Amino acid sequence: MKPSATAALRTFDDLPGPRGIAYFGNALQIDAARSHLQFEQWSRDYGAIYKLRLLKRKIVILGDHEQVAAMLRDRPDGFRRTTRLEEIWTEMGLPIGVFGAGGEVWKRQRRMVMAGFDPVHVKAYFPALQGVASRLANRWQIAANSGQAIPLQSDLMRFTVDTIAGLAFGSEVNTLESDEVVIQQHLDQIFPALFKRIFAPVATWRWIKSPADRRLDASIREVMHAVDGFVRQARTRMESRPELRSHPGNLLEAMIAAADHPDSGIDDAQVAGNVLTMLLAGEDTTANTLAWMIHLLWRNPDCLAMATEEVRRVCGDGSVLTHEQMGQLYYVEACAHETMRLKPVAPQLPLQTLRETVIGDVRLDEGIVVIGLMRRDSVSDSHLPNASAFLPQRWLEQGDPGHAAHSAKRISMPFGAGPRICPGRYLALLEMKMAMATLLSRFDIQSVDTPDGLEAREHLAFTMTPVGLTMRLRMRNQER
């Protein structure tokens, strides 16, 4: 830009923000598990764009949804995942997949991953999802018959791990019918540790390994052993059945076929990185969204009644759930969108500038981290009427079911936006509808409880989880 064009622009130093202390800046003020709530509150105090300093790191917090969307669309050329994320991720010994890759590497991996997530392919893999849903129903039937409280997130994470393993990798990882240590329990260690280390002012784990650090290392070894096994099994199948290269039986086979194309530029390490990405992202985000949805439906009985009526009208007793039935669950899908608006599992998205850039009236240098607040405007009455209420009907246009209302859809971006929008969004919505159809067609919900009986507490550990939800069920049509 010419100097005259930048004369009226503010810089990082001109931005408001909470006062810090010498050397540490704002680092000691931030509670990582509640940082999204702190950032949202500071946005109300200091405006839609403000600054933080974490030791030497310059952080800009961005709350305006239009500016956040513009930032997301300016990827991968103008913004990237943060170097801090990449540093910690690789230090933990994890291969980089499409989630963390940038530049040309991301473009190559994106093509490979999108080949596997094509809706036509996902539909072909649907029988695997039917099997997992049946196992979930059996697990919940045992709990209902014995009067046991169900640890909601744990069971839902078993459901999503089993789904992604069967649907995406062609491997049966039956955690729903196992009470032993399962891969889900190892996966659960990775995101919280990654998040904690990103925010840590001092990298103590590099000098002294705590018991938690050693448990993390052991979990990562177990997860990577499983990932390598998925890839090895898929390659063995494809060697014995060459037709799978043109007609893959699952997402991993589709990725390998795309990777093995002479011009792909993809090796097995990058395939493994995307297997890990699917396991982590597919487990955590979808399971937590489902847990939030069940909690919100329980606290809004009229909405629960409408969702139940739709599921039982479309799916009957749920003994056989079909892909066609999932496409008719308009209200349940609206409940999912409304849940993601109010309780996005990624309420903040940190990116880093790749060049000097202008956001609003602020000029930012290359290398500055910008954290987009994904919920600030979507729960503001200035953008949506009655924004704090759980109203799934706002996603259903009158007379045109199945289409999201434009205002809510424009502001709420749970899957991101632009070229790097989540490639698994279609599969995630299908999993959510399948789980809800399983629940509401076969069971009556007796209660969904929090540890203190109040609204579920939000805990951020890379993704935002509800704390301590339990659910009690009764078999449908069973006498009260």
Q: List the beta bridge partners of residue 359.
A: 362
Burial class (CB in 10 A: 0-12, 13-18, 19+), 237: middle
> In which residue are the tokens 């300093």 written?
53
- DSSP summary character for residue 415: T
> With contact defined as beta carbons under 8 Å apart, do 423 and 282 qualify?
no
Q: Lowest mean pLDDT of 19-23, 108-112, 124-128, 131-135, name the range.
A: 108-112
**How far is 223 from 476, CA to CA, in rounded Å?**
38
Residue-wise pLDDT for 388-428, tens only, equals 999 999 998 654 444 445 677 789 998 888 888 887 888 88
Residue 452 confidence (pLDDT): 92
Alpha-carbon distance values, 134 to 230, 233, 314, 331, 440 (Å): 23, 25, 17, 22, 13
Which of 47-61, 78-92, 190-204 shows the lowest per-residue confidence on average (mean pLDDT)? Answer: 190-204
Tokens of 170: 């062609």
Strands 369-373 and 57-62: parallel
Q: How many CB atoms lie within 10 A of CB 210?
A: 10
Beta bridge partners of 465: 459
Tokens of 140: 């919940």
The contacts of residue 218 (CB under 8 Å, 6+ apart) are none
- Give the domains, in start order, of the chain with CATH numbers: 3-475 (1.10.630.10)
User: Angle 251-259/103-116 helices, nearest 10 degrees?
Assistant: 130
pLDDT above 90 (res 347):
yes
pLDDT at 335 over 70: yes
Burial 320-342 (b: 16+ CB within 10 A, else e): ebeeebbebbbbbbbbbbbbbbb
Higher pLDDT, 249 or 395: 395
CB burial string 19-50: b at 16+ within 10 A, e below: ebeeeebbbebbebbebbebbbebbeebebbb
CB atoms within 10 A of CB 480: 5
Q: In this predicted model, which residue has the larger pLDDT, 232 or 39?
A: 39
Average pLDDT, the chain: 88
- The pLDDT of 253-258, averaged and rounded, is 82
What is the rounded distance in angstroms from the CA atom of residue 467 to the CA atom of residue 479?
A: 31
Of residues 92 and 173, more confidence is placed in 92
Q: Which of 221, 222, 256 lies closest to 236, judged by CA?
A: 256
Per the CB < 8 A criterion, the answer to whether 339 and 296 are in contact is: yes
